Amino acid sequence: MTEPLLKVQGLKKYFPIRSGIFGQITGQVKAVDDVSFYVNEGETLGIVGESGCGKSTTGRMLMRLLEPTEGAIEFQGQNLAKLSPFEMRKARRDIQMVFQDPYASLNPRHSIGQILEEPLIVHGIGDAKERKKRVRALLEIVGLSDNHAKRYPHQFSGGQRQRIGIARALMTNPKLIIADEPVSALDVSIQAQVLNLMQDLQKELKLTYIFIAHDLGVVRHISDRVGVMYLGKIVELSESEDLYANPLHPYTKGLLSAVPVPDPDFRRQQIIIEGDVPSPSSPPKGCTFHTRCPFKMDICTKSVPQLTEAQHGHSVACHLYNEQANDK
């Protein structure tokens, strides 16, 4: 079996909480707390969860836009977490990011041609003529035209701007794209077009995606496997089909209850998750979901459930599926 393209091991991001006039550290926010996963070449791993669950922080750490507190990020045989800023800049040629708000991430004073050319200049790829040729090619690939290169970001619709964001990410011919809520800011009708484009590009260019979203419905169509995050941890990880047909973690069941199912024969048992996500600066002891879980048991307040394989290729962090923990 071939090695995964990306392997993340024990990734953590703790932000210090400072207070007092001297700014002493009085606590820490565990935004990402011991997350491990892998992504195979050519597949899409979806990462879902409510806002503040650590999914975007995870994505940004993979690009080293945020420094990890701990953990390894193995990509093509090197640990990105240990690379110098210079080496990391080189590695970013192969890993690119698509952001949620394309307008905020596109410089309003630069033409689309300049915006698309920039990654090539940064990485020293091609001369002026070759760069222009690549800009034209990428505009066409994402469904825009050569004429658009002279225009500015404000002259485009939200969907077109996201196409530009995707084109920019593709300029350096990367292997891995981290897409952080790439369709959340778009109208539902446009969402489908952008998702279809991403799927077509994946097939054509043999891309690998990490697709981050808060909406399980959106992630479903594009992902081969899905990881569900809650308060900085992955609580369930499985093949996409299996996760939707047979969710195991009570939190995933609750999230799926909120996704409309048109066919009444396939409607699931409704699980309503009450209350708000607790603060990551003082997460509940034991299972961090116990304050909202309708299946809470005694052990849940004392012992942290580990992510373990409950069924073939389907892992879950919940004591309901962990007999050993229940025996303790």
The CA distance from 240 to 116, in Å, is 33
Cβ proximity to ligand SF4: between 42 and 284 the closer is 284
Q: How far is the CB of 314 from ligand SF4 (least distance, A)?
A: 15
Amino acid letter, residue 140: E
Amino acid at 141: I
What would you report as the CA-atom Rg of the chain, rounded to the nearest whole angstrom? 21
CA dihedral 101, 107, 108, 110 (to 10 degrees): -140
CB of 227 to ligand SF4, least distance (A): 16
Q: Which stretch binds ligand SF4 (CB under 6 A): 54-62, 179-187, 283-291, 307-315?
A: 283-291
Please name the amino acid found at residue 83: L
Contacts of 158 (CB under 8 A, 6+ apart): 102, 103, 185, 186, 187, 190
**Opening angle at CA 210, ends 209 and 211, nearest 5:** 105
Region 288-307 residues binding ligand SF4, contact defined as CB under 6 A = 289-290, 293, 295-297, 300, 305
Interface pattern 248-267 for ligand SF4 (x via CB under 6 A)? -xx-----------------
Q: How far is the CB of 328 from ligand SF4 (least distance, A)?
A: 13
Which residue is associated with the tokens 């990020």?
A: 73
Sign of the CA dihedral running 297, 303, 304, 308: negative
Contact indicator for 166, 150 with CB cutoff of 8 Å: no
Q: Give SS3 for 323.
A: helix
Q: Which is nearer to ligand SF4, 52 or 305 (CB)?
A: 305
Q: Which residues contact 118 (CB under 8 A, 6 or more apart)?
A: 110, 168
- Count residues near ligand SF4 (CB under 6 A): 14
**Binding range to ligand SF4, per CB under 6 A, among 46-54, 65-73, 125-133, 317-325:** 317-325
Q: How far apart are CA 45 and CA 224, in angstroms?
A: 6
Residue among 202 and 303 whose Cβ is closer to ligand SF4: 303
Residues 205-244: x/- map of binding to ligand SF4 (CB under 6 A)? Answer: ----------------------------------------
Identify which range of 59-67, 159-167, 171-179, 287-295 contacts ligand SF4 by CB under 6 A. 287-295
Options 44-52, 95-103, 260-268, 312-320: segment touching ligand SF4 (CB under 6 A)? 312-320
Measured from the CB atom, the residue of 314 and 319 that comes closer to ligand SF4 is 319
Select the span of 37-45, 72-80, 150-158, 313-321 touching ligand SF4 (CB under 6 A): 313-321
How does DSSP classify residue 173? -
Nearer to ligand SF4, 63 or 287 (CB): 287
Is the Cβ of residue 167 or residue 287 nearer to ligand SF4 in the bound state?
287
What would the two tokens of residue 270 be?
């409704």
**CB of residue 28 to ligand SF4, shortest distance in Å:** 22
Angle at 86 between CA 81 and CA 90, to 5 degrees: 85
Look at residues 178, 144, 138, 137 and name the one whose alpha carbon lies nearest to residue 160.
Answer: 144
Strand segments (E) across the chain: 6-19, 24-39, 44-48, 70-75, 78-79, 95-98, 176-180, 208-213, 225-230, 233-239, 308-311, 314-316
Q: Is 175 in the site for ligand SF4 (CB under 6 A)?
A: no
With contacts defined by CB under 6 A, name the span among 95-103, 135-143, 165-173, 285-293 that binds ligand SF4. 285-293
Closest CB to ligand SF4 among 75 and 230? Answer: 230
Contact call for residue 8 and ligand SF4 (CB under 6 A): no
Q: Is 277 near ligand SF4 (CB under 6 A)?
A: no
Residues that bind ligand SF4 (CB under 6 A): 249-250, 287, 289-290, 293, 295-297, 300, 305, 318-320
